Amino acid sequence: MGYFADGLLKCTSWGRTAGKITKSGVDYVTPDGIDVTIRMQPAVSGGKPMMALHSGSYNVLVAPSRLVDVLIDDGMSIALATGQGEIINTLNAPDIGLIRSLVSAPGKGMTDSDLFAVAHGGGLLAVATEPKSKIAASLRTEQMLLLPVGVFIAAFIVAVVIWLSKKRLSPLAELEIAVRNHEFIVHYQPIVELKTGICVGAEALVRWRRPDGSLVSPDLFIPLAEQSGLIKPITDQVIKAVILDLNSTLVEDRTLHIAINLCAADIKSGRILDVLEERLANTGIRTEQIWLEATERGFLDIDAARVTLAKARERGHSVAIDDFGTGYSSLQYLQRLPLDALKIDKSFIDTIGRDTATSSVTSHIIDMSEIAQPFSVAEGVETEDQADYLKAHGVDFGQGWLFSKALPADDFVAYHRRTKEKYGAAPEVIQAAAE
């Protein structure tokens, strides 16, 4: 520290001065009025170049290295410069060319090789630079540290997702997802003419194929589907599957029909007829080859049911009453609804050959079906005795395990081909008689 009087250095913290030492030239003035000499040779001590700060009659010499004497990361460099861009000092030997260009256009960012940032205050500029390669290396070490943590977190998330997906959804939610994912397929149970053994058609029976490949029986999901309205898109998927599976088989053999089960809502609204019309267009399949099965549940609104069934027959479909005999008012329907066939419920067929009270009901039901409708179909035929009895009592067709269980499409096509070779094709009259 020094004191000046009359333009000459009188004394310093090293002691009194001898000789005439004048104030050094001013390189710049700070905003608060201090004259700064960036580099001067101390005349008194004769030591390393120092920075001189003058205020009034006093000056202070500061070692320039002090100004950049801060703790910084390995590999980082800093530089201090005046507001005019003159470099005061540096630490860790930065690229001077880069520093010069940065002090003339301060900011922060990246060059091809370095990252940089410039800060200013008190008339000074501070520039920090670091080679990118250095940062990449430290990132790599951080990655090495973070990797195990990341793996652990990822494993945790995967475990939670598996746990959530295994958690059982409500049955309705599961069914909704199944509808959305088109998880329904159709099996075909052959319907044969009892007299000849000829396969005249099949009933389309829906199955829910779960993503794990297991098949769910319709008894387990049709009630919920009917209740929730999901049965409509399911029926649509059944129709789509029938066309996809059997289009060419149905076009090749005009005597063959497929029976589709209708839900109550569709019988009431008739919506299904337009769906069928649209889907059958351009397939070459005749409407006569699609039979429709309706249970008594669908006849609650009998006027609406009559309209739909009449329209269905007008378009060429045959209409069968399903599970016949199990409802309370079957007789009433026989008189009031336009029908082509009766499907006698399996529970009656089961009594054949057994000496039970219901077996007499069975013979009445059979008689009734014969009188009332062009066709009768016995459901759930399991034994030769049952088939013989039904034949003797004039029932036309049978469906049941005696002939075949419900088959995947390919197996049904093969079954149909086999029986055709063995017994011949059905006469077209089977279709024609329905009209």
Looking at 183, 293, 350, 396, which residue binds Ca ion (CB under 5 A)?
A: 293
Smallest separation (angstroms) from ligand C2E to the CB of 402: 7
Q: Nearer Cβ to Ca ion, position 114 or 379?
A: 379
Of 52, 59, 45, 53, the C-alpha closest to 14 is: 45
Dist CA 149 CA 144 (whole Å) = 10
Say how many residues touch Ca ion, by CB under 5 A: 5
Q: Which residue of 193, 245, 266, 322 would you call a contact of Ca ion, by CB under 5 A?
A: 322
Query: Other C-beta atoms within 10 Å of 141: how many?
Result: 9
Are 395 and 369 in contact by the 8 Å Cβ rule? The answer is yes
Nearer to ligand C2E, 117 or 265 (CB): 265
Pairing status of strand 77-82 against strand 87-91? antiparallel
Q: Between the CA of residue 355 and those of 125, 254, 298, 435, what are the distances in Å?
A: 111, 41, 33, 38
263 binds, among Ca ion, ligand C2E, none (CB under 5 to 8 A by kind): ligand C2E
Shortest spacing between CB 397 and ligand C2E, in angstroms: 13
CB of 205 to Ca ion, least distance (A): 8
Toward ligand C2E, which CB reaches closer, 125 or 366? 366
Interacting residues toward ligand C2E by CB under 6 A: 189, 204-206, 217-219, 222, 231, 235, 238, 261, 263, 322-323, 379-382, 399-401, 406
The interface partner of residue 382, options being ligand C2E, Ca ion, none and the CB cut-off 5 to 8 Å by kind, is ligand C2E
Report the partner that residue 218 touches, choosing among ligand C2E, Ca ion, none (CB closer than 5 to 8 A by kind): ligand C2E
Q: Which is nearer to ligand C2E, 340 or 379 (CB)?
A: 379
Query: In 3-state terms, what secondary structure has residue 40?
Result: strand
Cα three-residue angle 339-195-367, rounded to 5 degrees: 45
* Cβ atoms < 10 Å from Cβ of 7: 9
Q: Which does 178 bind (CB under 5 to 8 A by kind): ligand C2E, Ca ion, none?
A: none
Q: What's the CA gap between 171 and 221, in Å, rounded?
A: 9
Binding segment for Ca ion among 27-35, 140-148, 261-269, 306-314 (CB under 5 A)?
Answer: 261-269
Question: For Ca ion, which residue of 183, 245, 296, 323 counts as binding (CB under 5 A)?
Answer: 323
Q: Hey, is 138 helix, strand or coil?
A: helix
Residues 354-413 that bind Ca ion (CB under 5 A): 379
CA 54, CA 32: separation in Å to the nearest integer? 12
- Choose the one of ligand C2E, Ca ion, none that binds residue 406, judging by a C-beta under 5 to 8 angstroms depending on kind: ligand C2E
What DSSP assignment string belongs to 170-224? PHHHHHHHHHHTT-EEEEEEEEEETTT--EEEEEEEEEEE-TTS-EE-HHHHHHH
Residue 102 or 258 having the CB closest to ligand C2E: 258
Interface residues with Ca ion (CB under 5 A) are 261, 293, 322-323, 379
